[in-house]
Amino acid sequence: MSKHQVNGDQDWFHCYYWGEDRDDGCANELSLSTDPAADQLDLLVSNPGFNNESHDDTFALQKGDVEKLSVFLQSWLKRHS
């Protein structure tokens, strides 16, 4: 697997970064998805375990949360450009 992968479409964003396995030897993956029927953004963090068992955590961000996250990320990008 490549060291860094980002892909997606209008409904999904998926990011895998080699090196996210430093803490426990298992790589994390981040996915964001939208549901056209819902006014929220679903965040999924996957961490495959040592025996290939999946440990998934999900979190729903409401529109206001995403707006605040966007401001935070834009500020971070400006400081690091």
Confidence of residue 2 (pLDDT cuts 50, 70, 90): low
SS3 letters across the chain = CCCEEEEECCCEEEEEECCCCCCCCCCCEEEEEECCCCCEEEEEEEEECCCCCEEEEEEEEEHHHHHHHHHHHHHHHHHCC
Q: Tell me which of 27 and 62 has the higher pLDDT.
A: 62
Confidence of residue 74 (pLDDT cuts 50, 70, 90): very high
